[in-house]
Structure 1
Amino acid sequence: MNNFIIVSGPTGVGKTDFVDRLYSVLAHPYEIINADVGQLYEPLTIGTAKPLYKDSAIPHHLFDVLKAPTSYTVSQWREQVVSIMHSLWERNVIPVIVGGSSFYISSLFFPPMAASPEQQLPVSWQNKSSLDLWQELDTIDTERARLLHPQDRYRIERALSLWYTQGKKPSECIPVFLAPGTCHFYYLTRDVADLYTRINERVLIMLEQGWIEEVRSLDDHWKQFLLEKKLIGYPDIVKYIAAGEDSVRDELEAVISQKTRNYAKRQLIFWRMLKKKLENHDPHGNFIKKIVELNLTGEGDNGSILEQLIDDSVLFKSF
């Protein structure tokens, strides 16, 4: 049977540490597949909290695969991931998909609608800001708009295209459930105060590790790409560098921390909706063998979460 594991959760929750603990409980060989959009890009390491995968005994896939500042669609990611999953299954290896990019995770179960050739973007949109387009979407489909960041231009344009070319509200489109295999889904959470404290501390650590210098070393093409891509923190650092001596580092830290906390909040909202959709589309657990939310607050190295993983590992022996 083609089984796979997903480990997801909001930014800063501790996904990397959790996956490291799988090594001690899984009796079956496994390899890790990246589901974090920022970690696809080779030059972006500190600000994406990229794991030290090159030093790991476990093979990792889809890290540092993009050398140039170019976009990578959800469809492209899903196609590559499914291909990797099948190659691992042929070797009797469990794919473990790790990351917090919500639309990537969702696409494994609900493949994105293919863009039709006639879905050309109106020229007038080029003269509108991302916020203007988001507000337009909000008047059409508030439910969809509230799941998108006002600067997420790619998904905003995609949603508007669906409305204007097919007359369908994106939130009302019936998703096609097409899971690539049987999934054991672990979604990691923490108490809000705990999560926000971790986020604030992580932003500070990243800045101390040289996040600003990482961005400063990039050429202008990368910096422009980061302004458009809106990966958390990177656009703010690009602007900070451009402002020169007048910039205040403490303000930068506060802004990035706030935006990261807001992002984590959106991730949690998306997770609750995805969990409900998965349970509705697979009520008997034919494809979603396990879907569970694990609160890591108060967990040490030997807490009940690890005990649950040990119990679950019995399932994986039959993979």
Structure 2
Amino acid sequence: MAEGNRDPAVAAPAENPNPSPSFDGEVEPRTVPEKKVVVVMGATGSGKSRLAIDLASHFAGVEVVNADSMQVYRSLDVLTNKVPFSERNGVPHHLLGTIDPSAEFTSKDFRDLAIPIIDDILSRDGLPVIVGGTNYYIQALVSPYLIDDVLDELQDCSMAAPVDLSDIDVAGGYEHLKKIDPVAANRIHPNDHRKINRYLSLYANSGSLPSNLFRGEAADNWGRPNNFRYNCCLVWLDAAIPVLDKYVDQRVDCMIGAGLLNEVGDIYNLNAVYTRGLRQAIGVREFDELFRKFLSNKEDKMDSGFLYSDILKCSDDKVKILLDEAIDKLKTNTRKLVRRQRRRLNRLREDFGWDLHCIDATEAFFCETGDLWQRKVVEPCVALVKSFLLQSSSSSTSGKALGDVLSKGLVSRDLWAQYVCEACGNRILRGAHEWEQHKQGRGHRKRILRLKKKQNSCFSDQQQHIRNMDSSYCA
């Protein structure tokens, strides 16, 4: 096919020398773990924390383990939407506001802290309820295998002298990784500087390609329900996108009124790095330009502290414009986060075969009486958890469900193939499911339609030019 007439919607995946194994639908019998936990997942603003607390009024010994990557940090309670102590109804909460804001807290760190907590709750005959929208935290928790563990083992066993990587800047690290190991580069985000540096360090110190970690049975089975550490009841609390968008906008406005700007201003630093610790949270970087402008107008340059009321009193119109723009950015980026989280949950269900029980909270949103919340959300979830707790641990239901998924070929998809959408500015999509979801998006379809119209217009112009040339030749 000629380059100019190529279909802009077609995007072949990058080569993957280590494709996912195929499954023939046969699943070996397995022993379902005795340890039962409830996992409440969902996008930002869907009501996960509220549901978890409501479960405590129906089940004895409920204790919540937070699995939100920003709520684990101390500070910014308003911005990260931590449940206030007064609203927890006496339900114990773990890993909520306990980590130093400047620390780098990984999924491995979360797993290593959460497992002893969960095991302690179970030892007291309690019911651990894992709550959070950070899906890779939950994957790391329930999966007995984590690539970071193998990285540590290989680096600990390496006898080679450490190699200085300081001459490779942060921006160039990903490009360097792509040159030495494109397979490993395809599996991580270009902005995941921690993992990029670890992969480069592993290669420099041992000479082993990081992609070698992705081979073998353990790597192939990572994150799959047939080898979960716990017997999990997976609840997906969801709502329609327009409803979540509206709720997010209202929640941001409430956060502003509750002192969000004061919180962010307290930790603001002109030389802040927004890729580490709590400063990664959505709602910090968005106000950087506003704070810089506001502080440049202050008479006392040494005093960087300020209040939201100070910004409102500022006579500089530019400051007020930047404030409105920052709030709009916060809303926009939060809405984007909602969509990413929903896509990842779909990926867990479609690609990894997780048996997610979806509870639709759409009707319950904005209901002042709470009756709809009880009927549409709490009661279905209570019935689901009751059934889960009454099941015998030796039941083969989970194994059968996995077999059904595997026989349909859902889990056998290539999870790591990289797709490039030229129509959307060479946007990179990872995995067949994410690519299919992207193609169905409104923005993608509009761009494809515009490109096709443009191609048809160019083709018509070419035909007209040929006809004109023929007419001139005949004359």
Confirm whether residue 291 of structure 1 aligns to residue 379 of structure 2: no
Label 1:294 to 1:209 Cα distance change in 2 as closer, same or farther (>3 A): same
**Superposition RMSD on alpha carbons, in Å?**
3.4
Q: Give the residue type in structure 2 aligned to 1:198.
A: Y
Which is worse superposed, 206-215 or 293-302? Answer: 293-302
Q: Give the residue type in structure 1 aligned to 2:285.
A: P
| TM-score, length basis structure 1 | 0.81
1:315 to 387, 394, 398: 387
CA deviation map 1:147-181 (0-9, x unaligned): x4x54433555577789942528888524355232
Q: Give the residue type in structure 2 aligned to 1:50.
A: K
CA deviation map 1:252-302 (0-9, x unaligned): 11111111111121111211222235427xxxxxxxxx6312221012223
| Structure-to-structure mapping, 1:68-217, within 5 angstroms | 68-110=101-143, 111-113=145-147, 114=149, 115-116=151-152, 117=155, 122-128=165-171, 144=187, 148=189, 151-155=191-195, 157=197, 165-168=208-211, 173-177=219-223, 178-217=227-266
Label 1:260 to 1:239 Cα distance change in 2 as closer, same or farther (>3 A): same
Residues 140 and 169, structure 1, Cα contact 8 Å, conserved in 2: no
1:303 equivalent in structure 2: 375
1:9 equivalent in structure 2: 42
CA deviation map 1:2-54 (0-9, x unaligned): 11011111112221222232133x33311001101111111121110011136
Residues 177 and 196, structure 2, Cα contact 8 Å, conserved in 1: yes
Residues 237 and 361, structure 2, Cα contact 8 Å, conserved in 1: yes
Confirm whether residue 224 of structure 1 aligns to residue 272 of structure 2: yes
**Equivalent-residue separation in structure 2 for 1:253 and 1:20 (angstroms):** 30
Label 1:121 to 1:27 Cα distance change in 2 as closer, same or farther (>3 A): farther
Q: Give the residue type in structure 2 aligned to 1:128.
A: A
1:28 equivalent in structure 2: 60
Percent identity between the two aligned chains: 21
2:340 to 266, 276, 279: 266
1:233 equivalent in structure 2: 283
Label 1:159 to 1:257 Cα distance change in 2 as closer, same or farther (>3 A): farther
SS at structure 1 position matched to 2:133 = coil
Label 1:226 to 1:44 Cα distance change in 2 as closer, same or farther (>3 A): farther
**Equivalent-residue separation in structure 2 for 1:152 and 1:263 (angstroms):** 17
Residues 227 and 235, structure 1, Cα contact 8 Å, conserved in 2: no
2:77 equivalent in structure 1: 45
Label 1:276 to 1:227 Cα distance change in 2 as closer, same or farther (>3 A): closer
Label 1:106 to 1:159 Cα distance change in 2 as closer, same or farther (>3 A): farther
Label 1:130 to 1:259 Cα distance change in 2 as closer, same or farther (>3 A): farther
- Name the larger-Rg structure: 2
Which consecutive residues of structure 2, in runs of 5 or more, have no partner in the other structure? Answer: 1-33, 295-315, 365-371, 392-475
Q: Give the residue type in structure 2 aligned to 1:237.
A: F
Which consecutive residues of structure 1, in runs of 5 or more, have no partner in the other structure? Answer: 281-289
Label 1:175 to 1:156 Cα distance change in 2 as closer, same or farther (>3 A): farther
**Equivalent-residue separation in structure 2 for 1:107 and 1:95 (angstroms):** 16
Label 1:93 to 1:292 Cα distance change in 2 as closer, same or farther (>3 A): same
**Equivalent-residue separation in structure 1 for 2:163 and 2:106 (angstroms):** 17
What is the total number of aligned residue pairs between the two structures? Answer: 305
**Equivalent-residue separation in structure 2 for 1:214 and 1:166 (angstroms):** 43
Residues 32 and 96, structure 1, Cα contact 8 Å, conserved in 2: yes
**Equivalent-residue separation in structure 1 for 2:242 and 2:164 (angstroms):** 42
**Equivalent-residue separation in structure 2 for 1:105 and 1:171 (angstroms):** 20
Residues 39 and 48, structure 1, Cα contact 8 Å, conserved in 2: yes
- If asked which structure has higher relative contact order (CA below 8 Å, sep 6+), I would say 1
Residues 10 and 189, structure 1, Cα contact 8 Å, conserved in 2: yes
Superposed displacement of residue 212, structure 1:
1.0
Residues 144 and 170, structure 1, Cα contact 8 Å, conserved in 2: no
Q: Give the residue type in structure 2 aligned to 1:184.
A: C
